[in-house]
Amino acid sequence: MPLDSHILAAIESQLSPDAVLSDPLDLKLYEYDGGVDKSIPDVVVFPRTTEDVVALVRLAQRHNLAIVGRGAGTGLSGGAIARAGGMIISFARMNRILEIDIENERAIVQPGVVNLDITLAVQPFGYFYAPDPSSQRACTIGGNVAENAGGPHTLAYGVTTNHVLGLEAVLPDGTVIQCGGKELDAPGYDLVGLLTGSEGTMALVTKIWVRLMRQPEAVKTMLAIYNSVAMAGDSVRALTARGITPVALEMLDGPMLRMVEAATHAGYPLDAAAVLLIEVEGLIEAVEEQAEAIAEVCKECGAREVRVAKSAAERELLWKGRKNAFGAIGRVSPTYYVQDGVVPRTQIAATLAAIDRIAKKYGIAISNVFHAGDGNMHPILPFDPRSPDGLENARKAGDEILEYCVSVGGSITGEHGVGMEKMELMSHLFPEATLDLIKKFKALFDPSCALNPGKVLPTGKGCLEIRQRPELVL
């Protein structure tokens, strides 16, 4: 149903005319994110300041509208979808870097700042921002905070929560809070840690203090090539056992690397069963020593060859292949389902075997590209949307993969978030008492269930049932 004209007029009075979308065709552009679920909002708004956000939140509260914060829409678990309709608050125009403080290795940014833009802004000073999701050229820091995003280099540097020092946020009643800031360690409860990864269900983040890292003296990128997926998985286990921690350790299986090579010509061998993309950095002498140790371990585990990038251009090309992997899949299958389970590194080989069994069970040509260093699996499940059971089979296979991950001591998500995609699997991971505690935290921040309803908590524990639209099918 169209939004009531009086409510729409009240929203438009808060912002400039070009900052409100309500036409059905415009709203269609905001019914999805990078995942497979869809739901159309009633209105999309584009604030420029924290004061704009406060006014919009209070207006939404008066008119009982659900509120969903949205960044670039690159998320993969339905986190930015207006599942119960209502108002999407897009932070696309809150995209300024407010302060760069090199002396204290800090920056203050608005939530709509693109991830890579922070690194580009501080590169001239010899610094960078460490979390680097594959979508870093498009994804925004606000979305990264909401989902606690990771990336290839978080093996050594950690995920978003390890690089966020402070947050300004708007609560569902319009109250503005600040937790953390430039200081190294704030007293009291870690509210920054609580809100980072809360998927927009507790507050809307309007300002972020981030940590900057000094660029390393030397970087070396390596490509280990295998005739067996199991050998590549065993190399990850062996590197861990030797106490060797690269800054990045990525794996692509044969089907995936061939799709990537066809799209990017990164230099991956087409006849390989798997490759490991490995990066080390630090002082020149330490990098040389670590690279030699890594090559030795990989060869002991069956690598037929270990290549080392000979130039910055060759290194960049290898990473271009990895970072553009999801785009490369689109050349083969325009529709696919991406999963995000985590397993202990010692279980990678067994998990790949389990994924292969599940693929055969459902007749899906699953390929794999993932953060092997921290066991964050990303099986890619292509499907035909024209087939009546195409998406449904992909979902079933994805759920079975996640259930297997949990069964071997892992988790249902490493960086994509729970969203609406995995909420019913939360009971596989957490006992009833823990889910009840999560619900209490949600109610403490958002007692009226206004923020991002229908996410994270399973049905009956969350608040979708309070704000469910009649046409919504669970």
Q: Is residue 24 part of a domain?
A: no
Q: Are residues 261 and 357 in the same domain?
A: no
Q: What is the pLDDT of residue 186?
A: 82
Q: Are residues 412 and 350 in the same domain?
A: yes
With 80 as the cut, is the pLDDT of residue 468 above it?
no
Q: Is residue 386 part of a domain?
A: yes
Instruction: Describe the crossing of helices 348-362 and 229-241 by its angle, rounded to 10 degrees.
Output: 150
Domain boundary among 183, 214, 245: 214
Whether this prediction's pTM lies above 0.85 is answered by yes
Please say whether the beta carbons of 85 and 45 come within 8 A: no
Q: Are residues 109 and 193 in the same domain?
A: yes
Q: Is residue 157 part of a domain?
A: yes
Number of domains in the chain: 3
pLDDT category of residue 221 using cuts at 50, 70 and 90? very high
pLDDT over 90, % of the chain? 92
Q: Are residues 183 and 250 in the same domain?
A: no
pLDDT category of residue 301 using cuts at 50, 70 and 90? very high
Q: Are residues 317 and 231 in the same domain?
A: yes
Q: Is residue 58 part of a domain?
A: no
Q: Are residues 248 and 317 in the same domain?
A: yes
Q: Are residues 180 and 224 in the same domain?
A: no
Q: Are residues 356 and 284 in the same domain?
A: no
Report the alpha-carbon distance of residue 172 to residue 176 in Å, rounded. 10
Q: Are residues 276 and 346 in the same domain?
A: no
Q: Is residue 142 part of a domain?
A: yes
289: CATH: 3.30.70.2190
pLDDT in tens, 148-159: 999 999 899 999
Domain boundary among 195, 214, 233: 214
Q: Are residues 265 and 357 in the same domain?
A: no
Q: Which domain holds residue 297?
A: 218-327
pLDDT in tens, 317-359: 999 999 999 889 988 998 999 999 999 999 999 999 999 999 9
Q: Is residue 469 part of a domain?
A: no
Q: Are residues 385 and 307 in the same domain?
A: no
Q: Are residues 363 and 389 in the same domain?
A: yes
In terms of pLDDT, which residue wins out, 462 or 173? 173
388: CATH: 3.30.70.2740
Q: What is the pLDDT of residue 1?
A: 65
Q: Is residue 225 part of a domain?
A: yes
Q: Is residue 3 part of a domain?
A: no
Domain boundary among 379, 403, 418: 418
With 60 as the cut, is the pLDDT of residue 45 above it?
yes
203: CATH: 3.30.465.10
